[in-house]
Amino acid sequence: MRNYILSCLLISITLSCSPPPKLIKLSGPVFGTGYNIRYYDKDNTNYQVQFDSLFKVINQSMSTYIPDSDISRINRNETITVDNHFKTVFKASQLIYEETNGAFDPTIGSVVNAWDFGPEGKIEQLDSLKIKSLMTTVGFNKVMLQDDQIIKPAAAYLDFNAIAKGYGIDVIADFLESKGINNYLVDIGGDLRVEGMNVETENGWKIGIDDPNFDGVQSYSKIIELASEAMATSGTYRKFKVDDNGNRYAHIINTTTGYPSQTNVLSVSVIAPNCTLADGYATAFQAMGIDAVKTFLNDHPELKVYFIYEDELELKTLGLNGFPEN
C-alpha cells in the first residue's frame, strides 16, 4: 500500500509539473496573399512544412493562375480525374449556387477575366455585345461532376477563387485537429477559422473587422470574439478597377447581367460553421444586397452577417442573425 501511495504521488507531481501548451506562430505567402496561423501545442511541433505542402496540393488542384493545375486543364477541356479537394469545393459551390439562386456562380470566371479581375488579362474593347457573348457560357447548373470527372460545355470557364481560400483554411484547421490541437486560429488574407481560445488571455479569439478604407490604411469597424467558428469578408473596397473616366467598379460581377454589381454595400462579413461556406456566402451576399440577404437568412440561422454600407454618403453598419456586438 505504501508503494502504491508513493507511485500515485509521483504521477501527480509529474502531471502537475508538465509544461503548458506553447503558442506556435507561423506565416507565409499563399493564394496571392499571406497566411498567419497560431496554435497551442504541448509538444511545440512546427507544422509549417506540412502546411505549405497542403497549400501546394490545393493550388495544383484549383488555382486558375497555375497553367497545369487541374482546373486550368479542365478549362482547356482536357479530361482528367479530379481529387477530393476539387470534389469537396465543387459540391460546396453547387450548394451555395442553388441556395442563392445563382448569385454565387463559379462559371462567371470568363466574365471576371474580361473585367480584368482574373489571370487571363483584360479583354480590349469590352462592350455589351462581348459581355452578352460571354454570358452564354455562364451557369453552374450546366456543369456536372460524374465519376470523378468534370463534364461541362466547351466554352464554360470554372473559377473557384471565391471559395477556395476558405476551403484552404478549413483544410489547415482539420489538420490541426487531427493532431489533437484544439486551440488555434487560421487566417488567410483576413478570412479565418478559430477553435477553442487564446490560452494566454483565457478568452475567445479577438478578431478585427476592417473599415472599408479605399486608401489601404487599416482601421477596425469593430472587434469581436469568436470561438469554434469561421468568418470571411467580401469587400468592394479591397479589389476594384478605375476606368479611363475615373469610374470605379468592383470585382463582384452580377451573375445575371455580367456587369460589376451596382451596390451600396462596401463589405459583408459572414460567420459560418466552416470557412468554405463563409467564403462562398460572403461573395454571394455582396452581390445580393441587404434586403435579399435579410430574407435569405430567415431560413439560415447558422449564418451571422455584418454589413458596412453607404446611405446617402453616410457610412452605416448592420448586424443580422445575432452577429456579435463586440
| 3-state secondary structure string across the chain | CHHHHHHHHHHHHHHHCCCCCEEEEEEEEECCEEEEEEEEECCCCCCHHHHHHHHHHHHHHHCCCCCCCHHHHHHCCCCCCCCHHHHHHHHHHHHHHHHCCCCCCHHHHHHHHHCCCCCCCCCCCCCHHHHHHHHCCCCHHHCEEECCEEECCCCCCCCCCCCHHHHHHHHHHHHHHHCCCCCEEEEECCEEEEECCECCCCECEEEEEECCCCCCCCCEEEEEEECCEEEEEEECCCCEEECCCCCEEECCECCCCCCECCCCEEEEEEEECCHHHHHHHHHHHHHHCHHHHHHHHCCCCCCEEEEEEEECCEEEEEEECCCCCC
Residues facing residue 185 across a β-bridge: 38, 194
The pLDDT, as a whole number, for residue 16 is 47
Most confident of 76-90, 132-146, 213-227, 254-268: 76-90
Is residue 49 scored above 70 in pLDDT? yes
**Which has the higher per-residue pLDDT, 82 or 218?**
82
pLDDT at 245: 56
CB-based contact 94:87 (threshold 8 Å): no
Amino acid present at 298: N
Residue matched to cell numbers 473559377: 159
* Position 42 pLDDT exceeds 70: yes
Question: Considering the entire predicted model, what is its pTM?
Answer: 0.85
- Grid coordinates belonging to 233: 469578408
Mean pLDDT of 60-78: 96
Phi and psi at residue 184, to the nearest 5°? -155, 160
Taking CA atoms, 155 is separated from 30, 58, 70, 166, in Å, by 29, 24, 17, 27
**Euclidean distance between CA atoms 3 and 144, whole angstroms:** 68
How close are the terminal C-alpha atoms of the chain, in Å?
55
Domain 22-320: CATH superfamily is ApbE-like domains (3.10.520.10)
* pLDDT band (50, 70, 90) for residue 277: very high
pLDDT tens by residue, 107-119: 987 777 776 665 5
Going by pLDDT thresholds of 50, 70 and 90, the confidence category of residue 294 is very high
Measured CA to CA, the distance from residue 62 to residue 251 in angstroms comes to: 19
Where residue 24 falls among pLDDT bands split at 50, 70, 90? very high
C-alpha cell at 210: 476592417
Q: For residues 176-193, give the mean pLDDT.
A: 97
pLDDT reading at 5 higher than 70? no
The per-residue pLDDT for 266 is 86
Question: According to the model, what pLDDT value does residue 15 have?
Answer: 47
- What pLDDT is stored for residue 20 in this prediction? 73
**Residue with more model confidence, 7 or 34:** 34
Taking residues 265-271, what's their average pLDDT?
Answer: 92
Amino acid 117: pLDDT: 65
The percent of residues above 70 in pLDDT, for the chain, comes to: 82
When comparing pLDDT for 29 and 110, which is higher? 29
User: Higher-confidence residue: 234 or 114?
Assistant: 234
What cell was used for 96?
451555395
Question: 207 - beta bridge partners?
Answer: 224
Burial class of 15 by CB neighbour count within 10 A (0 to 12, 13 to 18, 19+): exposed
Predicted confidence band of residue 318 (pLDDT cuts 50, 70, 90): very high
Q: Give the integer Cα–Cα distance in Å for 269 and 233.
A: 4
* pLDDT beyond 70 at 6: no
